Structure 1
Amino acid sequence: MTITRRDAVAGALALPAAADAASQWRRGHDGQRIADLGNGTFLNPVMPGDRPDPAVLKDGKDYYLTFSSFDSYPGCVIWHSRDLVNWRPIGPALNQNIGSVWAVSLEKHAGRYFLYIPVKASPRNSIFVIYADRIEGPWSEPVDLHLPNHIDPCHAVGEDGSRWLFLSGGDRVRLSEDGLSTVGAVEHVYDPWRYPADWVVESFSPEGPKIHRRGDWFYMLTAVGGTAGPPTGHMVIAARARSIHGPWEQCPQNPLVRTISTDERWWSRGHASLVEGPAGDWWALYHGYEAGYWTLGRQTLLDRVVWTRDGWPQMTGGDLSAPLAAPRGGERVPNGLPLSDGFATLALGTRWSFFKPRTDEARRVRVAANTLHLKATGMAPVDSSPLLQVATDQAYRIECDIEIDPGTTAGMLLFYDDRLYCGLGFDGERFVTHQYGQERGRPANPHGRSMRLRVTNDRHIVTFDTSGDGGRTWRRFDRGMEVSGYHHNVRGGFLMLRPGLYAAGDGEARFRNFTYRAAPFRA
């Protein structure tokens, strides 16, 4: 196999494949791209922006979806659909910071909803469970299952009614009848299929098991090859068994999904779940990186599944670069989420989230009279727990009116994590330039303690503009940046580059009329 290299890896140039499809996407809130093309077809991604490790639940006519939320809180936002293409947010299920949230399992059992949540945390990792009698909540406080050595749980019910968590590495552990504790020790039950030794991957890393029952078979989908790193690494494999207790038989067509070249639009495709569609057909949801745009994180993709005569699932969407026929029989729900915010209400957990919040972080923020009041803390974005959004587009512009108290520094960011970010802030006398996760320069501020800021991210080329008259006239700030390297393969952490707001120092900052606008794609 020949692996080609494209200049798109640097992120500064538009890919021909992406450009060909650019005009096909429909536009929704704020000009954001949406998958539903309105003619019975859709174009991936169905959930743009950082929506990794999708966990899907079919509940009658309704579908619910959530994702790894890592260090963003409130987290584990639940989304709702009736056709698998159009999704709207319901709200966050997890409000208490228990650590960095990895791939979760969303289930319904005996009329109750469960979320099994693996976390990376100090002093130890673990897996927690929360539950609710309604998908909208309220959700319970987290219950620690004391499983420090595994990630990516998947709840499964055996043919004998027993409840299990399948775990990374081909392991599993039994659950109590109420699903809130474990019974016995972790056991190894499955050795995943191995790819050829000369394939270019990140690591073996068997993870993300998903158990599905269809007819007389239990099917297990597993991710191997590593989540990021080389675009050709991540993949989906399958196995099946007549019993939840095994033995597990490898699919002869493994892998079911894999990126084989950087010429493809979607890189590092993997971590798949099977789900029955509204008309009884079958689909798979999994994630992938958009070619050249690791900065957008892993986005959720939808692929049609058919079953072979001998009972194995096969994906049929190819490299997902072309529109596909949409699931039949479903009902559209209002799609997407506006990212622009007039601050009539406080949209924590849907539109905004804190990065690594402390226990009382939510007390820093309130809205009144269409103004977001954010109490300053820390000295810079590194220790001020900024408010962030999930961007959905390759190119976008954010603007906001910002007013600060004496002693406050505030501004707008493109934020990967607390060691890698860029942006522009100001106090009453000087600007502060954020670049490479550092504070780089402090030129004079002619606008004082109130101005409108604009940040434009045009396919990784970042510019800043300032206005002292509410946006009627603009002044280009004399520092541009290039941010294609602000991503996991440079920094680690499996995150994305998020637009956001921060306030540091003393006092508070007031934000008004925040707008997000996706820019047109290049021809």
Structure 2
Amino acid sequence: MKKKITTILIGLCSLFYPLTGTAQSTSFKTFMNPVIPGDHSDCTLTKVGDHFYTTGSSFNPTPVIYHSTDLIHWEAIAQPVSAAWSSYGDAPSGGCWGGQIVYYNNKYWDFFSRANAMHFVVADKPEGPWSMPVKVNNPSQLPFGLGYDNSVFIDNDGKWYLVVKNGQANNAIVELDTFGQPTGVVYNLAWLNPDNENHPYSWAEGPVMWKHNGYYYYSFAHDVSGGQKVMRSKTLTADKSAWTTPVDMFNENDPNKSTAIFGRPNHSSAAVELSDGTCWVVHPVWARANNNEWYGQGRQGLLNQVRYDSENNVVADYPVNMVKKAPLLPSGGIPFMVPKSDFFTTEKLNPEWSFWGYTKTSLVSLSDRPDWLRLTPKSLTKANTVIKTDAEHNYSLITRLDFKPDSTSDEAGIRIMNGLENLFAKIYSTINSKGEKIICFSFDQVHYEIENNIGNIVWLKLERNNHELTGFFSQDGVKWMPVGNKINVETLDRFTSNYNGWCGNRQGLYVQGTKYADFDLYIYRDAYSPILAECPANQYGTMKTVLSNGGALLDDIHNNDWALYAGVEFGNKNYNKKSGNISISASCATKGGKVEVWLDSIGTGKKIAICNIKNTGNLSNVKTFTAKTIPTTGRHDVYLKFVGENGDKLFALKDFVFTCK
């Protein structure tokens, strides 16, 4: 019998979705990290009633507030800081540092730092609208300013505090009044990481606080390279003798630590406690495995349980590559957090979209042309880009563009860019020096172009298969023509200097030059483009196998194992498609089994197909197996559940794709 606690070799895994009655779907009882793929730097965690909220540092992209009811499924609900705020700035590593949303005095507050000065915004509900930022005054009782990467702690007596960090030597706890300003009561913790002791905890940054069993817990990161410490006290005080000596927050003795994809955790949130007594943190970690191969995706959002012993010592689970038991909470119907399709039919831009730096409201419109997004360049030299996190290793981005370029500097299309804003992989419409319309596909020093004989309105597609991108264009979104050859973008995905501008890579739509561009839709994962089986958003029991020819398969598949592929777009009235079949490329050295195709969850969702996989001779001999699907439209999380005889390894999967009815 195969163990169901299994190590996975994929650099991106996490999961889940709804409850029916009191029964949790099989696909929601366990999870693998990350729960928020893509950049989620310096994240905090807040519980308000039965709801959870997280946000954090965004840097030049505008920040996002995420909401969850089960700590596994997260949805973007708000952009608390307006990109049109005149003080936002527009430079790599700038923007918003830190961030925490809390509920206090019948208002929602979001605190953050901009240019080393603390600010807050307020709203009546977490979705907003949010006020313009208000600066928090530096209290005269402290010999240093309020700094950055701070958090908020609300005590049982209703008093609330800003947990402060400014420079290596300066830590403090600052009481706030009902208006979000310092009361004058401060607790100076300058003894924690002093200059005269050569900063024993490096930067002692990103401090957070919580309370448990009568103790105050104060936790901080060693520095961004890794390490998290925690200390506790019975009283809230600046007296060093009242606090225990800081110790490791995460279980550094975990035997699987050395193989962890997400190693050296730091910048953890405060712990939140559920009604069943379990406690949890979210924290950001770079994927450091395979020589930092996917470092460019940024610090991804992980969830781990926190445990206390009989003496109130606290330790958090290390983020090892294991299937873990999920919190016993309802998902609320929230899908897994990957970028979602958008057809721009709403009055306001979905909060999942961020802006790249300061962006005037006049440069973005959903009303100038109904059901289209209009983007106008910021200047002759500055592009206007709306972005989502570049979170996964496999997807197919599609847009329909209406653009009439006047010069070779006019561009509009899809692009993926790094946080330093000096590497761009893009498929776009422009004209050449002869004034001829062309479609270009480029990255760094590689450039392909092809004549655009379609016109101003054209479909563009950018497919990612790990580090390889392929660009296409089309007249109708059905028949696609490649633009040049595949381009390897590993230099974009790997670690770069200066911590990639502190944030991860982003993907999205852009326009630059002199002319505005209209975008009709944005599809993240097209059902009718091949989906790599080796790249699930989450899984149970499976693992990746690399063949001798370099190809990769989803392997080690046994009865009742499953894999999740999130955010699959099947079509609607704006993307006129409907699935009729599924084709699965698989290999099998045994008698085989079945693949059940479920939408949104296993058991409580909708089963749309069953595909039989038969013997192909050996693992390297991949064949295609096809089954009819129930006609399907809309965007769904697709679960593949594997069924066969217990004990047997059933088959391995290369990829799958849906075809239209």
Residues 415 and 46 (structure 1), Cα distance of their counterparts in 2 relative to 1, 3 Å cut: same
Residues 188 and 330 (structure 1), Cα distance of their counterparts in 2 relative to 1, 3 Å cut: same
Residues 386 and 45 (structure 1), Cα distance of their counterparts in 2 relative to 1, 3 Å cut: same
Counterparts of 1:184 and 1:128 in 2: how far apart (Å)?
17
Q: What is the CA-CA distance between 1:470 and the residue it aligns to?
A: 3.2
Is 1:425 the counterpart of 2:428? The answer is yes
- Check conservation: 2:118, 2:146, Cα contact below 8 A: no
Moved more, 156-165 or 293-302: 156-165
- Check conservation: 1:269, 1:288, Cα contact below 8 A: yes
Residues 377 and 145 (structure 1), Cα distance of their counterparts in 2 relative to 1, 3 Å cut: closer
Amino acid at match of 1:156: F
Moved more, 245-254 or 48-57: 245-254
Q: What is the CA-CA distance between 1:193 and the residue it aligns to?
A: 7.7
Alignment partner of 1:106 out of 53, 76, 101: 101
Counterparts of 2:495 and 2:366 in 1: how far apart (Å)?
29
Residues 406 and 48 (structure 1), Cα distance of their counterparts in 2 relative to 1, 3 Å cut: closer
Amino acid at match of 1:387: V
Residues 517 and 192 (structure 1), Cα distance of their counterparts in 2 relative to 1, 3 Å cut: farther
Is 1:284 the counterpart of 2:276? The answer is no
- Check conservation: 2:418, 2:506, Cα contact below 8 A: yes
Moved more, 212-221 or 410-419: 410-419
SS in 1 for 2:352: coil
SS in 1 for 2:266: strand
Counterparts of 1:481 and 1:446 in 2: how far apart (Å)?
27
What is the match of residue 412 of structure 1?
414
Q: What is the CA-CA distance between 1:207 and the residue it aligns to?
A: 0.9
Q: What is the CA-CA distance between 1:377 and the residue it aligns to?
A: 4.4
Q: What is the CA-CA distance between 1:209 and the residue it aligns to?
A: 0.7
Counterparts of 2:414 and 2:105 in 1: how far apart (Å)?
46
Residues 86 and 459 (structure 1), Cα distance of their counterparts in 2 relative to 1, 3 Å cut: same
- Check conservation: 1:257, 1:270, Cα contact below 8 A: no
Alignment partner of 1:510 out of 481, 497, 518: 518
What is the match of residue 151 of structure 1?
148
- Check conservation: 1:431, 1:445, Cα contact below 8 A: yes
Alignment partner of 1:451 out of 447, 451, 458: 458
- Check conservation: 1:193, 1:250, Cα contact below 8 A: no
What is the match of residue 483 of structure 1?
490
Counterparts of 1:44 and 1:37 in 2: how far apart (Å)?
17
- Check conservation: 1:376, 1:504, Cα contact below 8 A: yes
Alignment partner of 1:54 out of 43, 53, 61: 43
Q: What is the CA-CA distance between 1:400 and the residue it aligns to?
A: 1.4
What is the match of residue 4 of structure 1?
none
What is the match of residue 21 of structure 2?
none
Counterparts of 1:21 and 1:441 in 2: how far apart (Å)?
30
SS in 2 for 1:270: coil
Superposed, 1:90-489 pairs within 5 Å as 90-95=77-82, 96-97=84-85, 98-99=87-88, 100-120=95-115, 125-147=116-138, 150-157=147-154, 162-168=159-165, 169=168, 170-172=170-172, 174-184=174-184, 188-189=188-189, 191-192=191-192, 204-224=202-222, 226-227=223-224, 233-248=225-240, 249-250=243-244, 253-256=247-250, 263-273=259-269, 274-290=271-287, 291=289, 292-316=293-317, 318-330=318-330, 332-336=332-336, 339-345=340-346, 348=349, 350-363=351-364, 366=367, 368-379=369-380, 383-407=382-406, 408-417=410-419, 418-428=421-431, 429-432=437-440, 434-436=442-444, 444-478=451-485, 480-486=487-493, 489=496
Is 1:63 the counterpart of 2:58? The answer is no
- Check conservation: 2:101, 2:111, Cα contact below 8 A: yes
Q: Could you tell me the TM-score, scaled by structure 1's length?
A: 0.81
What is the match of residue 74 of structure 2?
87
Amino acid at match of 1:351: E
SS in 2 for 1:272: coil
Q: What is the CA-CA distance between 1:386 and the residue it aligns to?
A: 0.8
Q: What is the CA-CA distance between 1:466 and the residue it aligns to?
A: 2.3
Alignment partner of 1:493 out of 501, 512, 516: 501
- Check conservation: 1:239, 1:251, Cα contact below 8 A: yes
Deviations 1:148-191 (A, max 9, x none): 56211222346776543221255225344214223449763154
Amino acid at match of 2:283: Y
Counterparts of 1:346 and 1:420 in 2: how far apart (Å)?
32
Amino acid at match of 1:118: S
Amino acid at match of 2:77: I
SS in 2 for 1:38: helix
Counterparts of 1:217 and 1:27 in 2: how far apart (Å)?
33
- Check conservation: 1:370, 1:512, Cα contact below 8 A: yes
SS in 1 for 2:511: strand
What is the match of residue 44 of structure 1?
33
SS in 2 for 1:310: coil
What is the match of residue 11 of structure 1?
none
Counterparts of 1:167 and 1:488 in 2: how far apart (Å)?
29
Residues 389 and 477 (structure 1), Cα distance of their counterparts in 2 relative to 1, 3 Å cut: same
Counterparts of 1:434 and 1:146 in 2: how far apart (Å)?
47
Number of residue pairs aligned between Structure 1 and Structure 2? 480
- Check conservation: 1:113, 1:132, Cα contact below 8 A: yes
Unaligned regions of 5+ residues in structure 1, if any? 1-15, 29-35, 228-232
Counterparts of 1:39 and 1:442 in 2: how far apart (Å)?
45
- Check conservation: 2:272, 2:281, Cα contact below 8 A: yes
Moved more, 482-491 or 61-70: 482-491
SS in 2 for 1:55: coil
Deviations 1:397-440 (A, max 9, x none): 2111222124242121001243232213222423455534x896
What is the match of residue 31 of structure 1?
none
Residues 164 and 183 (structure 1), Cα distance of their counterparts in 2 relative to 1, 3 Å cut: same
Q: Could you tell me the TM-score, scaled by structure 2's length?
A: 0.65
Quote the sequence identity (%).
21
Moved more, 363-372 or 413-422: 363-372
Counterparts of 1:342 and 1:191 in 2: how far apart (Å)?
54
Counterparts of 1:379 and 1:357 in 2: how far apart (Å)?
16
Residues 221 and 375 (structure 1), Cα distance of their counterparts in 2 relative to 1, 3 Å cut: same
- Check conservation: 2:98, 2:151, Cα contact below 8 A: no
Unaligned regions of 5+ residues in structure 2, if any? 1-5, 18-24, 89-94, 139-144, 432-436, 535-551, 554-661
